[in-house]
Structure 1
């Protein structure tokens, strides 16, 4: 019971947190549900009671009055329901927009940290889960409506007979318990299904990306088989979850039908004992059935509560931006002592001891897989299992090895720089390293080497004291490599510059070079984090 209470509180709070300055919309939505519940569960049963009693005594005038009153209430409630539905759609729109905005900000931040997550994962967070989390509005409103239904059912019972209040008070906890029976089952299997879905998406994305890189090889059938195998654990979890849900819901439906029959018998017995009129009997039956129907709807919402709760927790972790205590304007410095990094948690990549001070250009050399890019990501702040000490003073900016520019022109990219370049500086760089290119060009249409030159130029524009570049010279023509590297070193003379490089002839351009041994020590590493300062 504690688990379902915590999940429901998190789900109810979520739309209020997302609405922020528009929380009055949620208040109006709940107020509208209060009026609708009062109309259907209080006014309608009482009107029905008086109309039936008037028919029993054959008072046509009173019967006509109550029927006319019922028609007016019916029209008013339907008009109010239309306004309420429009307000609900507007509230859902605001929740989706707010969640998507936060997720988009987190996606750009996480991409900047150099996390090796497929872009489809970020798109799913921004688009799919933002839309799915808007269903928390329905859960919140239905929960409030169930509470209102109980209150109005008690009010109708109190008007008809004090004994009827006891009947409602006894039935309500019974229905609540029956409605929450399948929560633990749904929660357990939904967690398993979410893990299987995440594994399936990662495996499928990796296999699909492998096709474009190995198009000349006959691996399409092999890749299709690998994708098919990745779906099997997810499908198995999905079938198991749906089967357990169907089993629990079927049992709930049988029990709820039995409860409805008991309600009829209890109301009939109450009418006989308390000598209630026929109209009172019908009013109590309608109120009891409406109460049961409301809790049935709530049961359907609670069955999805574990899924919503998991989505909310994942979205919170995803949008929790990396808050570093490092000042962007502090003097940059990096120090490593007895450091070994473990990006996968199963092997150690030893890193030689070094100190990188302002004004120094540090070159990282080593074979493939020796940990050069891993070290840059660790310095930049990506969480990683490690032993030893990695101390970082000052904020850093990372230029990744694989570049994808937004679909804008070069001029827009320059204007978005933290410290915009002067026009003369930009023209000098373009004339020397990108001859024939225009500021109005879209760099996505350039060659890989030309895009690397532009990216290196842009990454020198930020005001962070530590500049990290992962293979900025790969793809650059041989005639421009040394000139470009010397330009980068000159422009970073008051900051720490750490560059991953493979060209042995360019060692002379660096103040210091480090050769990573690339010897992986097979051992499990405790999941500690690198230490930022």
Structure 2
């Protein structure tokens, strides 16, 4: 995709699950800048995943939604997103290569030789070309998430929604995959949900924390350094502020 990155505006959003006593989100407003990572933090149940799943079109028949979601080019948001979940969601009976090509099969598109070449190039970028014929159950957790990353890149969408994709990994693997993902998604507009303040501060071009019941979004300042950041004194202070806000919200 050669077009410039796209931004997203969410204004006065309310999300209420059918049958629930209270709304999950209310009067939530956020500006998602183009070509950057926007990270969302919040306590469990604050509505982070609900917001992401709604944007991905996974909650249309389960919630009432009010508010505006508008792309910077004025065109519809739907069908222009790739979604990367906490679970890698790889199909165990398909090879690594076939899992990367899965979106073509779902859309009933032919997996041509050009498509396969693109898949192999992406697998090379994530360091998995030698295991392209392997089944997912033979891979480590970090390798499986790299397959999921390649599958996400294969869709070549301007918006990438990521729901804690690194949370189940050990610290070193998580750190490496954060850097790899940031590099490969540099031309995309990314919304990342995380429970990890360090991960958020490291990767965010913009950072929001969801607080309250129903939740609203509060934007936090970030260091002047560019992501992915080393965790220095300034980053540590912001992490401490995040912990303080989260502790208040749990009280």
TM-score computed with the length of structure 1 as normaliser: 0.32
Are 1:499 and 2:215 counterparts? no
1:390 to 62, 69, 89: 69
Give the aligned partner of residue 302 of structure 1.
none
Are 1:332 and 2:6 counterparts? yes
1:478 to 148, 167, 171: 171
Give the aligned partner of residue 430 of structure 1.
127
- Give 1:375 shift: 0.7
State how far apart, in whole Å, the 2-side matches of 1:520 and 1:504 are.
21
1:408 to 87, 90, 94: 94
Are 1:508 and 2:202 counterparts? yes
Contact 1:340–1:387 (CA under 8 A) maintained in structure 2:
yes
- Give 1:415 shift: 4.4
Which structure has more strand as a fraction of its residues?
A: 2
Give the aligned partner of residue 55 of structure 2.
379
Are 1:360 and 2:14 counterparts? no
Q: Which runs of 5+ in 1 are unaligned?
A: 1-328, 522-533
Q: Which has the higher contact order (CA 8 A, sep 6+)?
A: 2
- Give 1:449 shift: 4.1
Give the aligned partner of residue 77 of structure 1.
none
The RMSD of aligned alpha carbons is 2.8
Are 1:460 and 2:153 counterparts? yes
State how far apart, in whole Å, the 2-side matches of 1:369 and 1:462 are.
30
Give the aligned partner of residue 24 of structure 1.
none
Give the aligned partner of residue 520 of structure 1.
214
Structure showing greater Rg: 1
Q: Report the 3-state secondary structure (helix = DSSP H, G, I; strand = E; otherwise coil) of the residue aligned with 1:421.
A: helix
State how far apart, in whole Å, the 1-side matches of 2:66 and 2:122 are.
43
Q: Report the 3-state secondary structure (helix = DSSP H, G, I; strand = E; otherwise coil) of the residue aligned with 1:508.
A: helix
Contact 2:123–2:132 (CA under 8 A) maintained in structure 1:
no
Contact 1:349–1:518 (CA under 8 A) maintained in structure 2:
no
Which structure has more helix as a fraction of its residues?
A: 1
TM-score computed with the length of structure 2 as normaliser: 0.65
- Give 1:400 shift: 2.5
Contact 1:369–1:518 (CA under 8 A) maintained in structure 2:
no
Matches within 5 A, 1:153-302: none
Q: Go from structure 1 to structure 2 and tell me whether the alpha carbon gap of 1:457 and 1:476 turns closer, same or farther (over 3 Å shift).
A: farther
- Give 1:331 shift: 5.6
State how far apart, in whole Å, the 1-side matches of 2:64 and 2:189 are.
24
Number of matched pairs: 189
